[in-house]
Amino acid sequence: MYSCGIDIGSVSTEAVILKDSDIDEKNFEICSYIIGRTGSDIKTASENIFNDALSMAKIKKEDIRNIIATGYGRKNVSLADRNITEITCHASGVLSVFPEVKTIIDIGGQDSKVIKIDRLTKKPIDFLMNDKCAAGTGRFLEVMAKALDIELEAFGKIFADTNERIEITSTCTVFAESEIVSLIGHGVDKRKIVKGLLYSVADRIISMVSRLGIEEPVALTGGVAKNSGIVGAIEEKLDTRLLIPFEPQITGALGAAALALKIAKSE
Ligand SMILES: Nc1ncnc2c1ncn2[C@@H]1O[C@H](COP(=O)(O)OP(=O)(O)OP(=O)(O)O)[C@@H](O)[C@H]1O
Ligand SMILES: [Mg+2]
């Protein structure tokens, strides 16, 4: 039996196809996964990514018993059988990789969220979401990378190789961008600006985590978990090692697919 999860985020769309299996306690194996850009047309993005995931798994749409959509665009995925919130899907996806996790931090393109997991039920008991402001999100980092004319992928190495930092005082994306442009104009070393930016994003995330109360182990997911500079800054400030899934950007879709399989089996 196959299932599919589709996560329509503000920046990226992912599809994961699972097949039921009794090899381990997860009861599934991953047949394929695809990560693509969402763009302006959710319907087309979801269809293209779904079709790519089908071809990669070498199966047809009719082979899939249940399709669940999640993410901010979940209600616009007409090929899905149902949709489930991001909090539930992320929790399910992360717990399938790290069953011991107590706190999940997901940093995506337009929002960041913290989810607390109940140690007995293994279900989300509380969460906080920052979706009103771009600061502390992947989009903030994308805007700053552009202003600095440095690839986002280079931020991790800069974080590791640079000792000093320039404090970025503006928290608003627009003001922070002007601040950076002005610092560059004054000839400040861009690497020190990057280091300051990474700590400022880490501070925003940690203040959100602290409001919920941090409980270890902590997992980090979302595309921003691929930015080793952010990982390093958060780990340093929280003084803990973060658990990062093998592909941190697909956990929402993975959780949706795992729930789709569970529902299909119980029907
Ligand atoms: N290889 C990479 N290196 C560094 N950062 C990356 C990389 N890939 C993605 N990102 C970051 O991940 C962000 C997108 O994350 P993600 O795909 O989780 O967002 P999303 O799910 O579409 O958004 P949301 O959940 O907020 O709706 C980008 O804005 C970028 O900052
Ligand atoms: Mg997301």
Structure tokens at 97: 């990789």
Say which residue the tokens 């190495």 belong to: 157
The residues lining ligand 1, judged by C-beta closer than 6 Å to any ligand atom, are: 9-12, 71-72, 108-111, 138-139, 141-142, 152-153, 222-224, 226-227, 249
Q: At 259, phi and psi to the nearest 5?
A: -70, -35
Residue 103 lies in a domain: no
26 alpha carbon, distance to own chain's centre: 21
Buried b (16+ CB within 10 A) or exposed e, 177-196: bebbeebeeeeeebbbbbbb
Q: What is the mean pLDDT of residues 162-184?
A: 93
CB atoms within 10 A of CB 164: 9
Find the 109 Cα to ligand 2 centroid distance in Å: 7
pLDDT tens-digit readout, 83-100: 999 999 999 999 999 999
Do 20 and 94 share a domain, yes or no?
yes
Task: List all residues 6 or more positions away from 207 whose beta carbon is below 8 Å from its beta carbon.
Answer: none
| Of residues 216 and 130, more confidently modeled | 216
- Quote the percentage of the chain above a pLDDT of 70: 99
Atom from ligand 1 closest to the CA of residue 111: 26
Q: How many domains does the chain have?
A: 2
Atom from ligand 1 closest to the CA of residue 252: 21
In this prediction, residue 130 carries a pLDDT of 86
Residue 80 lies in a domain: yes
Do 145 and 82 share a domain, yes or no?
no
Strand order in the sheet with 12-20: 28-37, 12-20, 2-8, 64-70, 82-83
Q: What is the mean pLDDT of residues 63-73?
A: 97
Is residue 250 very low, low, confident or very high in pLDDT (cuts 50, 70, 90)? very high
Residue 105 lies in a domain: no
Find the 251 Cα to ligand 2 centroid distance in Å: 9
Q: Which domain holds residue 253?
A: 2-98+249-266
In CATH, what number is assigned to the domain containing residue 184?
3.30.420.40
Say which residue the tokens 């602290």 belong to: 210
Please tell me the distance from the alpha carbon of residue 220 to that of residue 208, in angstroms, as a whole number: 14
Q: What is the mean pLDDT of the chain?
A: 95
